Amino acid sequence: MQSKKESLLVFSPLIGLALLAVAWAIPANSAQSVSEKMTPLPPAPARPVHGIQVSNESELKRLLTEAPQGSILLLDPGKYQGPILIERGITVWGPPEAVIVTSGEGTTVRLHGTGSSAIGFSIQGSGSRYDLLDAALELQGEDLQAIGLHITEAVYGIIANRSKRIKLSENYVVGTGQEAMGLRGDGIRIWETYDSEISNNRMRGARDMVIWYSSGNQIFQNEVRDCRYGTHLMYSHDNQVRQNKYVNNVVGLFSMYTQRLHLEDNIFAASSGSAGIGLGMKESSDLRLINNLFIGNERGMYFDNSPFEKDTTIDIEGNQFYFSSVALDFHESPKNVILKNNLFRSNWSLISVSGRGDAMAVQTSGNDFDGYRGYDLDQDGYGDIPFEERSMSEQLISAHETLALFRGTPAAGMLEAIGQLLPLYQPTALLRDETPAMGKSNLELKNR
C-alpha cells in the first residue's frame, strides 16, 4: 500500500495541472475588468463667446473664402455638405449635431495653413480611395488644432502630413469595423509631423494609429480598442507615450527602428490570439518602459533585435505582468536589457527565448516573481537566494517553435511537472535575479 507521501508524489502533477487550468481560466474575465467600456471624453468644447453665426452650407463655404483671416465661424446644428477647406487661421466651431458630410469623393475636411482650428463638430464619411488616402480630416501646416471632433464612416479618420506643433485632442474616431482588419483604414495617421500633441482621443474599430517619421511628440491619455495596432511607431524618435489604454487590439504598441522612446503608465490589455502582443520592439534602441500594466496578453513584451544600436539599453522598470501566455518573449538571446523592480503574476510562461537561447545576460534586480520559492531571513524585503527561471516546455519550444501550439495545454503542464519533480531532466536556466523582491506591497495591481 502506498504511503501518504508516495500518493502525494504521484498525484501532485495532476493537482498542479488542475490549479494551472483554474488560473488559466481567469485571464479573459480579468482583461475585461480593466474596463469594458470606452472611457468617456471630457465635455464638448464650449461655444466661443464671439464669432460669425453660420446656418447653412453655402454660407459656410462663402465665409471660409471671404471671412477675414483669423475669423471664428460658429455652426448651427444641421448637415453641411463637404468638402471644405479651413485655412488662413480660421476657427470653425460647432456642436456635435453640426455634421460635415462627405460628398462621396476625396477628403471631407482639410485643415491647412498656420493657426487654423476645427472644434467640436462631427464629420461623417469620406471618399472610398485607399490609394488617395481619402479621410474625414486631413491636417497640413503649423499650429493647427483638431479638438472634440466626432468622426465616423470614413476610410481614414484623421491624417496629419508634414506638420509641426499640431494638437489632436479629445476626438472620437470610429472606424468601419470590417472583420478583415487590413481592409480598414487607419483611425489616426501621423506622417512627418513634429513637436505635436496627440492626447485624450478615443479610437475603435479602425486599423491602426500610425506614427511614422514623426519625432518629438507627446502621445498621452488616448484609448484605442478593437483595432490592429493600438499605436505603430516607425522611424519616430524622442516621443513620449504616457497614460494610454490599449485594449482588445491585436498589438497594443509596436516600435520599429525607433530610438529614445519613453513609455510610462500605459495599460496594455487583451492582445490575444496567435499574433497578440502587448508591447513589441524591432531594432529599436534606448527605450524606457516604466510603470506600465500588462494584463491578459498573448505576449506581454516582444523583443526582436532590440536594443539595436551599440551602447544603448532597454530599461524595464516597475511594470506589472498578469495572465500572459508569455510575459517576456525574446526573438534571440538579449543583451543590454535591464529588468528592475517588475511584478509577475499568473503568467503561463515567464520568459521565452527563440533559437535555443536564454536571457541570462539580462541585468536583473528587485523583481517580484510569483514562482520564487526562496526565503528572506534578514527581512530586508529581498530573497536570500537567487531566483532562477527554468522551463522544460519553453526549452523545447525554443528548439522547435511549432511546439508553441501546445503552450498552456495539459501536455505542457505535465512537462513542467516532470522538470520540477525529476532533477535528472532539469531544464537549463533562462533568467536569473540575484535579489528577487519578496511580495512588496508597492507592486500591487492598481485600480486603473
Neighbours of 97 (CB within 10 A): 14
DSSP structural state of residue 277:
E
Selected residue with higher pLDDT from 142 and 412: 142
User: For residues 199, 202, 206 and 211, what is the CA-based torsion angle, rounded to 10 degrees?
Assistant: 10
Residue 32 has pLDDT above 60, yes or no: no
Residue 290's pLDDT is: 98
DSSP 164-226: ES-EEES-EEE----SSGGGSPPSEEEEEEES-EEES-EEESSSEEEEES--S-EEES-EEES
Cα(283)–Cα(303) distance, rounded to whole angstroms? 8
Q: What is the pLDDT, as a whole number, of residue 113?
A: 97
Q: What pLDDT, on a 0 to 100 scale, did the predictor assign at position 392? A: 57
Q: Where are the domains of the chain?
A: 273-448
pLDDT tens figures, 309-360: 999 999 999 999 999 999 999 988 889 999 999 999 999 889 988 877 788 8
pLDDT reported for residue 10:
38
Neighbours of 68 (CB within 10 A): 10
Q: Does 252 score more than 50 pLDDT?
A: yes
| pTM score | 0.86
Q: Mean pLDDT in the chain? A: 87
CB 123 within 8 A of CB 108: yes
Q: Tell which residue, 157, 198, 150, 204, has the closest CA to residue 38.
A: 204
Report which listed range, 84-88, 181-185, 350-354, is most confident. 84-88
